[in-house]
A and B are shown apart, each in its own frame.
Chain A
Amino acid sequence: MAAYEIEIILNRQLADCLSIPVFITDRKGNLIYYNEPAEEVLGRRYEDTGEMPADEWASIFHPSDEAGNILNPEELPLVKTLKYCYPYHRSFWIQSLNGKKEKISVTSYPILGRSSKFLGAVAIFWQSKDE
Chain B
Amino acid sequence: MRINLRGVRGSIPTSGPGVKYYGGNTSCVEISAEGWKLVLDGGSGISNVTWHEELNHNRIDILLTHLHMDHIQGLGFCKPFFDPAMEMHIWGPASTTQSLHERLSLYLSPPLFPVHIRDLPCKLHLHEIDKKNFEIGPFKIYSDYIIHPGPTVGFRIHYRSAVFTYMPDHEPALGVSGILEDTRWVSGIDLAKGSDLLLHDAQWTDAEYPQRMGWGHSSMDDAILFASMAAVKHLLMVHHDPGRTDDMLNEMFNEVKNRSAVSFSFEPAYEGMEILLG
Q: A12 to B131, Cβ gap below 8 A?
A: no
Find the residue from A2, A3, A116 having the highest chain B CB count within 10 A.
Answer: A3
Establish whether residues B130 and A2, one from each chain, have CB atoms under 8 Å apart when the complex forms.
Answer: no
Q: Which of A2, A13, A114 contacts B145 (CB 8 A)?
A: A114
State whether the Cβ of A67 lies closer than 8 Å to any Cβ in chain B: no
Known contacts A3-B187, A5-B145, A9-B147; decide if A114 and B176 are in contact (CB<8 Å).
Answer: no
| Contact yes or no, A3 B185, CB < 8 A | yes
Bound Cα distance A14, B147 (Å) = 13
Q: Is the CB of B174 within 8 A of A10?
A: yes
User: A9, B177: Cβ atoms under 8 Å?
Assistant: no
Please state if A4 and B151 are interface contacts (CB–CB under 8 Å): no
Chain B positions within 8 Å of A113 at CB level? 145
Query: Which residues of the partner chain A approach B94 to less than 8 Å between Cβ atoms?
Result: 114-115
Which A residues are CB-close (under 8 A) to B184?
1-4
A13: contacting residue among B130, B151, B174, B189, CB under 8 A: B174
Across the interface, do B130 and A3 meet the contact criterion of CB distance under 8 Å? Answer: no
Residues of A close to B88: CB separation below 8 A: none
**Does A39 reach chain B (CB closer than 8 Å)?**
no
Cβ B187 vs Cβ A9 within 8 A:
yes
Interface membership of chain B positions 180-197, coded 1 if the CB is closer than 8 angstroms to chain A and 0 otherwise? 000111111110000000
Contact code string A16-28 (vs B, CB < 8 Å = 1, else 0): 1100000000000
Q: Mark A113-129, 1 if CB is under 8 A from B, else 0.
A: 11110000000000000
Q: How far is the CA of A17 from the CA of B94 in the complex (A)?
A: 29
Contacts of B174 in A (CB 8 A): 10, 13
**A1, A13, A113: most-surrounded residue (chain B CB, <10 A):** A13
Give the distance in Å from the alpha carbon of A2 to the alpha carbon of B147 in the complex: 16
Closest to A1 in B: B184
Whether B175 is near chain A, meaning CB under 8 Å from some CB there, is yes
Count class of interface residues, chain A: 10 to 19
Q: Which of B67-110 contact A (CB under 8 A)?
A: 94-96
Chain A residues with Cβ below 8 Å from B224 are none
The answer to whether A6 and B190 touch (CB under 8 A), given A17-B176, A115-B130, is no
Please report which residues of chain B, range 143-198, place their CB below 8 angstroms from some CB of chain A when the two chains form the complex. Answer: 145-147, 151, 174-177, 183-190
CB distance from A49 to the nearest CB of B (A): 14
B96, B176, B185: the one within 8 Å of A9 (CB) = B185
> Closest residue of chain A to B187, judged by CB?
A6
With the chains together, A4 CA to B95 CA distance in Å? 20
Q: Is the CB of A116 within 8 A of B147?
A: no
CA distance A5 to B189 in the complex (A): 11
Q: Point out the residues of chain A lying under 8 angstroms from B187, CB to CB.
A: 3, 6, 9
With a 10 A CB-CB cut-off, give which of B130, B146, B177, B187 has the most chain A CB atoms: B187
Cα of A16 to Cα of B177 in the assembled complex, Å: 8
Residue of A nearest to B189 (CB): A3
Instruction: Tell me the A residues contacting B by CB distance below 8 Å.
Output: 1-6, 9-10, 12-14, 16-17, 113-116
List of 7 A-B pairs having minimum Cβ-Cβ separation, nearest first: A13-B175, A115-B130, A3-B189, A6-B187, A16-B176, A3-B184, A3-B190
Task: Give B contacts to A, CB under 8 Å.
Answer: 94-96, 130-131, 145-147, 151, 174-177, 183-190
30 A-B interface contacts by CB (under 8 A): A2-B184, A3-B184, A3-B185, A3-B187, A3-B188, A3-B189, A4-B184, A4-B185, A5-B131, A5-B145, A6-B187, A10-B147, A12-B175, A12-B185, A13-B175, A13-B176, A13-B177, A14-B175, A16-B175, A16-B176, A16-B177, A17-B175, A113-B145, A114-B96, A114-B145, A114-B151, A115-B94, A115-B130, A115-B131, A116-B96
